[in-house]
Amino acid sequence: MTAILQLAFLGGFRAVIEDTAFAPSRIEPISDFSSTKSQALLAYLACTRRRHTRDALATMLWGEFDDEAAKTSLRQSLANLKKLAGEHLRIERDAVEFDTHSSYTLDVEAFERDARGDVAARNRAVASYAGDLLKGLVVKNAPEFEEWLVVERERLRQLAADTLRWLARNEADAGDAGAAIAHLRALIPLDPLDESACRQLMLLLARNDQRTTALAQYETLARALQSELGVPPEAETTRLRERIRHATHAIQLPAEPAPLIGREGELKILSRRLADPNCRLITLVGLGGVGKTRLAVEAARDNAARFLHGVCFVPLAAAQDKAGLVAATLAALNVRSETDATDVAQLGKHLSDKEMLLVFDNAEHVIAACAEAIVAILKATPDVKCIVTSRERLNLRAEWVLALDGLPSGDKTSASVRLFQQAASRAGREVAGTPELARICQRLQGLPLALELAAPWARVMEIEQIEVELTRGLDLLSTTMRDVDERHRSLRAVFDHSWHMLSPDAARTLAALSVFRKGFTADAARNVAAATPAILSHLIDQSWLQQPEPARFDLHELVRQYAQGHLADDAREAALQRHSAYYAGWLVAREELRRSQRQREVAREIQTEMDNIRLMWETAVQTGNAEIFDKALACLFWISDILGRQHEAMRMYDAATECLRDRPNVKAVVGRLRLRHGVLARMIGHYQEAEQSLTEAERLLRNSGDTSNYAYVMCQLGVIRVLYGNIEAGVQQFEKSLLLYRELADLQGVADVLISMGIAEARLGHFDRAALLQGEAVDILTEIGDEMELAVAQNNLADTEYFRGRFDAALPQYRDAIHTLRQINDRRKLAISLNNASNLLCDMQRWDEALPMAQECVEIFREMGSRDGLMNGLNSAAGALLGMGNAAGALPYIREALTIAQQVGAEPEVINLLVVGGRLLYALGRPADAAQLLHSIISHPSATAFVVDAATTAMREFHLEPCNAAPWALQQMVDVMLTQAGAA
């Protein structure tokens, strides 16, 4: 069907046919109606869009005739319509209806639909309402049709009016006074007696400096009411006229030297709240210097048009008591006090007929008086709203609080950086957004005053120098500018002002809380700083403390520095000792839980407290506190492995060992420290360092009575043996360790040894034995709920299936392990599983899936600084690229992997890498060298069964014959690989 019937009945009658068979389409008006009743019939059928009997239609439009004549007239009109728009009508013997499945448009239908839609749809609706339904269409001698038309016209007119009311209200709330005025002006002709709409229009006009027009609107309403109803306007409307007549729209706000930066979200919140009739009091709270005043002034300026009598700024910095507050308010309002200077009621009396926004600035030192005054104002004045800036909330029921933090400071384009650049530019120096500048902003945590005080130093210092100076204290953050309020000329002065308002107990507590790093819980605050819930709440109310989440508190870094200056040396040492003891005990409490079903939760908790744990360890190092080390070393090892912080933890263990070297009766503690150090060194590929630490730990723990840790060190020494290719010796170590763990009934230890034994057996090619051991480990770990180690065991089970050539069985197990480790965020183990899965996918020739896994593995291990992990990931990436035919892309990967392998010094790992090296030589057009290399791998005594199989497969795949020459030694293999590949 190519014909589209277009009907428009709002404001008149229009019917056209658009024929889309032509390009462009052809539009022809329909004008050959036999009568106005034929037009009326089409309009009635289209507007009602339902089935009508012929008898009903005949009676409606030709009721003045007898039945037969009426039916005849109906048949003639239907014949006319069928000729003009027949395919859009369903004409039956007894009934007629408009075909809503045909191609048509109808403005009435679209208007009704849009009038109930979203803002955009409602705007379309009012734009499409061109006037009354079928305006100008006169149908004589059809009273039933006329009755229907009158009802429909009124219904659609009211729908248009209601839509305009909704839009006007929505736009006024959003601050778009111009659009609201336009819609109200369109509404008045539709409902000229709507006094509510008239008052809204008058108010919006007056607020936007159109008082004469607003008063004229009142007169227009009065005439309409007198003419139609013989009554005057309502008293509320008349009172509004008088308010407008005497109103002075004044904006009394301080000028600002530069545009506001970085508070767009907060400005939107304030605009929404000021538009909300239920919100009459907003308190901006935050640390001194966070920008409360600047934001309040900007919000008041943006929303001044909402208030008939404008906005007024009331500075309270100089007020000392209630009298001072009342005087400051009256002075800002240009009113002379005629009563008691402490009488807050006079404020409400003066403002009773005002529609106004008051901004009370710096209220914290007269907080009670400010609260009393605002209660009086809100009680006496229904149309006054208040914004208060304070470091403490008013604590009133009517109060809506918006707490401000520093500006975002995450990178070199952040709001903090832009504010710093703006302030530096005003001082005469243009500075670039650099990582160094971003670090300064992060150190200052986006505090606007601190940024503005630091920026002018860019005139005489480089950014790097400013960064260094800020580490030395707050003294850099000051200015001598004459137009800066005295309290804001230095950050120290800002903090001093608030500090003097604290009670002695609160001040002592705040000073002690300064020893924490990156936040703390209420329990930690109680144990370290004797902080009661009441004091914590008070410090939050006064903006000294932040509460980023319900169970956690934090100090702004600059507040921490300031408060620390109020902590005497002996008090600081005592607080640090309490801090160290608390977190050591806290870690002991999580020791059991970390191997349970709650281990994810425990890992998140420990990760959150890592900065405090580092401080705990530093304090113990300074005092040589072996007890702290002993309590914390196991959990520290665990979380460092999960987070990939092995290097950092090794340094911490070294520092602890060094301070205990000459201490008596701590040999076992040192042994446990060396044990964890050795395991971490092994994890990142420092095998020689690992062996030295583990050997020392074995000596220290041998007769210590600590059977559990002695069993652990025996197992780890076995791992080292396996890595060096002495697998049988490694298995012997595992068996000794396993026996000790079974005697202790330590299921976790048993599972750990079984995992290591399974790896060793797989390297020997004993796959059935390996699967049995790994399966037993899985059963144990499932029973005790150790999800993290279970993922490791599943990964190793998948390895065994992979080594057997059961690829389809191994891949789902790898994917399950990867999924679990991603959720846990155990980066090291995740990288291992990714690497193994990548190797398997290479063997399955699914190169495009293998490469991203290998590259993610490389990224993780490179970030961690793990040499053995990195070399294996590089090897996997090289293999994937070779499979994709990209030998040139594989070359740098294999070259870097071999270089690292030589540093690590583990023969089995080097030999494993050389299999891919042989494939690379073949791809580079050196089949003889490839054959000799692969033959040498197969012949090498340190080659595992799996590696031998891989090398044999490569030779068979390339149709290479075994060489008669003597096999190359390992170093010769590496040299050939590097030089030959390098030459390419």
Q: What is the 3-state secondary structure (H, E, C) of 429-485?
A: CCCCCCHHHHHHHHHCCCCHHHHHHHHHHHHCCCHHHHHHHHCCCCCCCECCCCCCC
DSSP 8-state secondary structure symbol assigned to residue 304: G
Pairing of strands 250-252, 14-19: unpaired
Terminal C-alpha separation, the chain: 69
pLDDT at 480: 62
State the Cα–Cα distance between residues 130 and 108, nearest whole angstrom.
Answer: 10
pLDDT, tens only, 428-475: 889 999 989 999 899 899 999 888 888 888 888 898 888 888 888 777
According to DSSP, the residues that pair with 15 across neighbouring strands are 7
Confidence class for position 624, pLDDT limits 50, 70, 90:
very high
pLDDT recorded at residue 695:
96
Is residue 530 over pLDDT 80? yes
Strand partners, 320: none
**In the prediction, which pLDDT does 470 show?**
83
The pLDDT value given to residue 981:
54
At residue 350, the pLDDT reads 86
As to burial, measured by CB atoms within 10 angstroms (0-12 exposed, 13-18 middle, 19+ buried), residue 661 is exposed
Q: Which residue would you say has higher pLDDT here, 693 or 871?
A: 693
* Distant-in-sequence, close-in-space partners of 465: CB < 8 Å, separation ≥ 6: none
Q: pTM for the whole thing? A: 0.69
What pLDDT, on a 0 to 100 scale, did the predictor assign at position 723? 86
At 902, is the secondary structure helix, strand, or coil? helix
Look at residue 982 and tell me whether its pLDDT is greater than 60.
Answer: no
- With beta carbons less than 8 A apart as the criterion, state whether 145 and 62 touch: no
256 pLDDT higher than 60: yes
Residue 852 has pLDDT above 80, yes or no: yes
How much of the chain, in percent, has pLDDT values that exceed 90?
55
Find out whether 746 and 708 touch, Cβ atoms under 8 Å.
yes
Answer whether residue 962 shows pLDDT above 80.
no
Separation of alpha carbons 642 and 882, rounded Å: 32
- Is the pLDDT score of 793 beyond 80? yes
More confident residue, 339 or 475: 475
Sign for the CA dihedral angle at 539, 545, 548, 553 comes to negative
Mean pLDDT across the chain, nearest whole number? 89
Average pLDDT over residues 609-616: 96
Instruction: Please give the radius of gyration of the chain, using alpha carbons only, rounded to the nearest integer.
Output: 41
SS3 47: helix
Structural contact between residues 712 and 753, judged by C-beta atoms closer than 8 angstroms: no
Check whether 979 has a pLDDT greater than 90: no
